[in-house]
Amino acid sequence: MSDFRNSTVYQIYVKSFCDSNGDGIGDINGIRSKLDYLKSLGVDYLWITPFFKSPMNDNGYDVADYYAINPMFGTMEDVDALIVEARERGIGLMFDMVFNHTSTDHEWFRKALTGDPEYMDYYIFKDPVDGHAPTNWVSKFGGNAWEYVPSLGKYYLHLFDVSQADLNWENPKVREELKNVIRFWKKKGVDGFRYDVVNLISKPAVFEDDFEGDGRRFYTDGRHIHSFLKELVGDTGIAGCMTVGEMSSTSLDNCTRYANPAEKELKMVFSFHHLKVDYLNGQKWALKAPDFGELRELFRKWQEGMQDAGAWNAVFWCNHDQPRAVSRFGDDKKYWKESAKMLAMMIHMMRGTPYIYEGEELGMTNADYTDISQYQDVESTNYYQILLDEGKSPEEALEIIAARSRDNGRTPMQWTPEEGAGFTTGTPWLGIPANHTYINVESEEKDPDSILAFYKKLVALRKEYEIIADGTIKITDAGSEDIISYERELDGAKLSVFCNLKGQETPLGEAFCLEGKKVLACNYPDSEGCVKALRPFEAVAVLA
């Protein structure tokens, strides 16, 4: 497999990628049927979201059996075939390990519920305090993070949905069980792993109320997190594999360790601070226009900070938990093509491994839903109710959900202009935006100027020019809050990248001249001579 520095990863949300049997739900055989498409994109790894046995309250992030395939997605034979067929094309697979919690349908939890002390110790059960929950911590999906089990007279912790019970990593048996899961999939030929919310696994020794926040400061990047990761990686022999950890509300300090080769923890990390620049007062469910000045400072902090510590980033805009970047930070109408390409360029020329989320390479947009009944995600439906309870009108609540819902990123992949978007011949499990008539693989494959063509070019450039994979990075100042720019350097060569985040021509503080330089990529026809301003949403990468 390629070195992870010049690799590009493509994320597949199984349920929404391709449906092979017409039941409206994407599946493993659907992925197999699209491997040639993925090969043509040039990506090196596929991160495939969980397809294990699950009641699907959180679409598979509630695992009931790490060794069994959810029949909705296919069989073990299908998965075995996928592993072989991906390898034949030189594409590595990364499976999604949800180890912070299991579904309450998992056999371990069921045994715990019978009062079996061995299995109760797999989870975090606590006695009531003064007749109520052990702490005031808030679940990430809304409400208190503890659920009472009357038959046991105890509460269990669930940082996510009530059907996702947090595992007790302090228990060595739990750690061993989870290592066995990795060993099992590694033996089957899986090259990589993505660890779900892995920086939340180490809980505090004492559980106490949080009077300053929602409790996260007590368990985020917790006391044993680094030793747990070292043990997990060391004992399963995956130090050479492609690994990425999803780090919720993390700190740069911790990430410089998680993703530092010297620490032997993970290859790279996802952090999310740059995806909160449109949160009002840090609140996901309160809208604000994106603050691009803040975005630039966050890139400065993380790109340069990780570099200075010798650690490696995963770089991305989109995943199955995020609204679509082009709708969020670009303009999905007038400058749809330009802004989608600009956002792509900003990430793909950075220092780090870029991740493309299914449909991002087409410029797929947010869902165009107009009624709350069209949303399915557990977080969205919970928060809609919370917003109403807080006194918002149904219209106000819907406006917030429409901007923030995870379903924006989960609408089916748009393959063709036809009804069903080539995703399914049946009824899709989640509504397909009307714009699939022009935003789809079939149409974009025919257009040399498409967003898809631009993504292919960026993926290829990373392989062709070492400076993109290995150069140093410095965030520069182009004289405007609306331009994010940076410089990469390697062996005396310099790559300058300028991205205009505004739908207007924006002057540069200092003109740059193109003579004697090579434009590696631009989302407009190339300029000539000296460039004094960037066109609306222009992005340009110049090599000198």
Q: What residues act catalytically?
A: 196, 246
Q: Is the dihedral of CA 301, 304, 309, 310 positive or negative?
A: positive
Of the pair 320, 488, the CB lying nearest ligand GLC is at 320
Least separation in angstroms between CB 442 and Ca ion = 20
What is the number of other CB atoms lying within 10 angstroms of the CB of residue 220? 19
- The residue with its CB nearest to ligand GLC is 61
Please say which residue, 270 or 423, places its beta carbon nearer to ligand GLC: 270
* Minimum CB distance to ligand GLC smaller for 98 or for 451: 98
Residue 215's alpha-carbon distances to 155, 222, 223, 230, 369, in angstroms, are 16, 12, 15, 25, 33
DSSP H helices, 191-277, are: 216-219, 225-236, 252-258
Write the interaction track for Ca ion spanning residues 27-46; mark x where CB under 5 A is met and - where it is not.
x-------------------
The separation between CA 528 and the C-alpha centre of its own chain, rounded to angstroms, equals 38
DSSP state of 273: G
Examine residue 196 and tell whether it contacts ligand GLC (CB under 6 A).
yes
**β-strands 45-48, 52-53: how paired?**
unpaired
Distance, in Å, from the CA atom of 398 to the CA atom of 379, rounded to the nearest integer, reads 13
Strands 9-12 and 45-48: parallel
User: If binding is defined by CB under 5 A, does position 21 make contact with Ca ion?
Assistant: yes
**Counting contacts by CB under 5 A, is residue 19 touching Ca ion?**
yes
Asked if 52 is part of the footprint of ligand GLC (rule: CB under 6 A), the reply reads no
By beta-carbon proximity to Ca ion, the closer residue of 15 and 341 is 15
Site string for ligand GLC, 54-83 (x = CB under 6 A): ----x--x----------------------
Give the number of residues in contact with Ca ion, rule: CB under 5 A: 5
Residue closer to Ca ion (CB basis): 18 or 174: 18
SS3 241: coil
The residue behind tokens 């990075």 is 473
For residue 343, the Cα-to-chain-centroid distance in whole angstroms is: 16
Helix axes 225-236, 172-187, angle to 10 degrees: 40
Pick from 177, 210, 321, 489 the residue near ligand GLC by CB under 6 A. Answer: 321
Q: Reduce the DSSP state of residue 247 to 3 states and report it.
A: coil
Please give the residues from 415 up to 474 whose contact with ligand GLC meets the rule CB under 6 A. Answer: none
Give how far the C-alpha of residue 35 lies from the chain's centroid of Cα atoms, to the nearest Å: 21
70-109 footprint of Ca ion as x/- string (CB under 5 A): ----------------------------------------
- Residue selected from 9, 18, 25, 534 as contacting Ca ion according to rule CB under 5 A: 25
427 binds Ca ion (CB under 5 A): no
**Backbone phi and psi for residue 174, each to the nearest 5 degrees, phi listed first:** -65, -45
| Contacted by 314, from ligand GLC, Ca ion, none: CB < 5 to 8 Å by type | none
Q: Give the per-residue contact string, 126-165, with ligand GLC (x = CB under 6 A; - = no).
A: ----------------------------------x-----
